[in-house]
Amino acid sequence: MKNIIIKTVCVIGLISIASCKKEANQEQTSVNDTIIQFKEISFDIEEQQNELYFVNNKQVTLFASTDTIKSQIKTIENSPSQRIFLVNESDEFYEVNYFSYGSNPLSYNGFVKKKHFKMKDDFSLESVDLNEIRYSNLNGVYDDQSKSFEKYGTVKLISKQSYLQNRRKGNTTFIFSTRNIETNSQTGVYSFSTNSGEQVEVPIKATSEETGLEYLATPIGFSPVLQSYVFRVNEDNETIYSFYSKRNAQEKIQYKSTLPIYNKESQQFAELTNNNDVGCLLVISGLDNNFRFKEKLLANFTNFKIVPNTLFWINEKSLIVEAVHTNQKDDVSKSEYLLIEFNL
């Protein structure tokens, strides 16, 4: 009799467990049935406006609806292979059209929390490819087919604080004041002697044969690294720098549109100047056996211009500079800061 009671209890227990499992499965099925799925949309983004950008590089949840409990979700992160456009907004959420490209493309209408995103700024360098170039020249080999600086290094945004903390770290003074340049006001020339005793004269004022404009020369000093006397020449609000060899009067004068910055450790010069056509030009140079500039790398960046006199070495292979979006003209109130790293 006792065995019969025990068996009966066990059977009832098993039936109860099976019933509970069935109810749990039914409940789970019911919950799954109520999950709000993502709405798929077309990849046609011709009319899309108001692009959104991540505030930082943290992962963010994309929801299928503002009901975060019942929504299908997708984890997204800051990536160049995706774009997000604003459709509508509420107090807490942005309704967005989300496009992800690559090997498994997908496009959803969904919702993200507003605190993770900001609106596109037409003057922000975050919205452009900083490594895009029009052409480059490495050790005399011209290349207008490769459109990325990444074969030589990288360009990326840094904070203003980082820029201010690191500027002048790697710059080395290479031009020093000198008393060896004489001024003759009567004849209107500066003069100096070469190592072999030849006398070189530089007109204080003269008229350019090419432009017909008057220019004014001012001595800056002497560069032991270049074995040259350096003059600044102003002509109709334009400035160039001329380098006269102290070693040999027959050496051709070297000209620069800006004074390069010098890094003693790598014995390299860097120039970054705005191009009248597009973007800006980076030039990295060394020295040849005659103490003349020898260009190693030239690259024409297309998506940013620089604020003059803000370029600094921070180590042998890194430069920092203040830059602006090419959409900006004369207004540089919206400037950002770049780190340029290269391998030569």
Quote the mean pLDDT of the chain: 87
- Is 50 exceeded by the pLDDT of residue 153? yes
Domain ends where: 86, 105, 120? 120
Q: What pLDDT does 225 receive? A: 97
Q: What pLDDT does 330 receive? A: 60
Same domain, 158 and 189: no
Is residue 29 a part of any domain in this protein? no
DSSP secondary structure code for residue 35 in this structure? P
Is residue 98 a part of any domain in this protein? yes
* Cα–Cα dist 295/305, whole Å: 21
Q: What pLDDT does 18 receive? A: 43
Same domain, 183 and 254: yes
Q: How many CA atoms lie within 13 A of 198 on its CB side?
A: 13
Residue 245 near residue 251, CB atoms below 8 Å: yes
Same domain, 165 and 197: no
Q: What pLDDT does 25 receive? A: 39
Is residue 7 a part of any domain in this protein? no
Domain ends where: 103, 120, 137? 120
Same domain, 170 and 229: no
**Predicted confidence (pLDDT) per residue in 34-57, tens digit:** 899 999 998 876 667 788 888 888
Q: What pLDDT does 33 receive? A: 60
Residue 299 near residue 134, CB atoms below 8 Å: no
Total structural domains within the chain: 3
Same domain, 167 and 282: yes
* Cα–Cα dist 233/219, whole Å: 9
Q: What pLDDT does 209 receive? A: 76
Phi, psi of 326 (to 5 degrees): -65, -15
Is residue 28 a part of any domain in this protein? no
Is residue 31 a part of any domain in this protein? no
Same domain, 246 and 308: no
Same domain, 271 and 341: yes
Is residue 236 a part of any domain in this protein? yes
Same domain, 270 and 167: yes
Same domain, 86 and 200: no
| This prediction's pTM | 0.69
Band of residue 32 on the pLDDT scale cut at 50, 70, 90: low
**Burial (CB count <10 Å: 0-12, 13-18, 19+), residue 164:** exposed
Is residue 338 a part of any domain in this protein? yes
Full domain range(s) for residue 237: 176-258
Catalogue the E-assigned strands of 44-145: 51-54, 60-63, 73-76, 82-89, 93-100, 106-113, 117-119, 133-138, 141-143
**Predicted confidence (pLDDT) per residue in 57-71, tens digit:** 889 999 999 999 999
Same domain, 314 and 168: yes
Is residue 12 a part of any domain in this protein? no
Residue 64 near residue 110, CB atoms below 8 Å: yes
The rounded Cα 81 to chain-centroid distance in angstroms is: 18
Same domain, 138 and 265: yes
**Predicted confidence (pLDDT) per residue in 228-285, tens digit:** 999 999 988 889 999 999 999 999 999 999 999 999 999 999 999 998 878 999 999 9
* Cα–Cα dist 132/261, whole Å: 24
Domain ends where: 99, 120, 141? 120
Same domain, 251 and 182: yes
